[in-house]
Amino acid sequence: MSTRGPGNLAPQAPRRSLINDPNVRAIFFQILVLGGVVLLGWYLVSNVLENLARQNIATGFSFLDREASFAIGETMIPYSPASSYSQALLVGFLNTIKVAVLGIILATVLGTIVGIARLSSNFLVAKLASIYVEVIRNVPVLLQLFFWYAVISESLPQPRQALNPIPGVFLSNRGMKFPGLADDPIWTWVGIALLAAIVGVWLLARWARKRQEATGQQFPVVLGSIGVLVALPLLTWLAGGAPTALDVPELQGFNFRGGINISPEFAALLMGLVIYTAGFIAEIVRSGIRAVNWGQTEAASALGLHRGEVLRLVVLPQALRIIVPPTTSQYLNLTKNSSLAVAIGYPDLVSVANTTLNQTGQAIEAVSIMMAVYLTISLGISLFMNWYNTRIALVER
Q: Does 23 help bind another protein (rule: CB under 8 A)?
A: no
Which of 12, 138, 217, 218 binds another protein (CB under 8 A)? It is 138
Closest by Cα among 129, 100, 134 to 270: 100
Neighbours of 43 (CB within 10 A): 10
Which CB atom, from 193 or from 311, has the smaller least distance to another protein? 311
The least CB distance from residue 67 to another protein, in Å, is 22
CA separation for the pair 390, 380 (Å, rounded): 15
Closest by Cα among 249, 258, 274, 315 to 116: 315
Across 275-298, b (16+ Cβ under 10 Å) vs e yields bbbbbbbbbbbbebbeebeeeebe
Q: Does 385 help bind another protein (rule: CB under 8 A)?
A: no
Closest by Cα among 5, 44, 43, 47 to 25: 5
Which CB atom, from 1 or from 223, has the smaller least distance to another protein? 1
Query: Which range, of 3-11, 78-86, 174-182, 199-207, touches another protein by CB under 8 A?
Result: 3-11
What is residue 13's three-state secondary structure?
A: coil
Neighbours of 11 (CB within 10 A): 7
Which of 94, 186, 234, 367 binds another protein (CB under 8 A)? It is 367
Name which of residues 331 to 360 contact another protein (CB under 8 A): 336-337, 339-340, 342-343, 350, 354, 357
Which CB atom, from 119 or from 182, has the smaller least distance to another protein? 119
The least CB distance from residue 321 to another protein, in Å, is 16
CA separation for the pair 254, 192 (Å, rounded): 38
Site string for another protein, 161-200 (x = CB under 8 A): ----------------------------------------
Query: Which range, of 30-38, 62-70, 176-184, 237-245, touches another protein by CB under 8 A?
Result: 30-38
Which CB atom, from 180 or from 382, has the smaller least distance to another protein? 382
The least CB distance from residue 177 to another protein, in Å, is 24
Contact between 89 and 72 under an 8 Å Cβ cutoff? The reply is no
Which CB atom, from 106 or from 334, has the smaller least distance to another protein? 334
Across 167-197, b (16+ Cβ under 10 Å) vs e yields eebbbbebbbbbbeeeeeebbeebeebeeeb
Which of 135, 192, 230, 238 binds another protein (CB under 8 A)? It is 135
Query: Which range, of 166-174, 246-254, 262-270, 311-319, touches another protein by CB under 8 A?
Result: 311-319
The least CB distance from residue 17 to another protein, in Å, is 16
**Packing angle between helix 85-118 and helix 123-137, nearest 10 degrees?**
140
Please report which helix (H) or strand (E) contains residue 261, including its range.
strand 260-262
Name which of residues 46 to 65 contact another protein (CB under 8 A): 47-48, 50-52, 54
Q: Please count the residues of this chain forming the interface with another protein, following the rule CB under 8 A.
A: 74
Beta bridge partners of 251: 256
Q: Does 278 help bind another protein (rule: CB under 8 A)?
A: no
Q: Does 120 help bind another protein (rule: CB under 8 A)?
A: yes
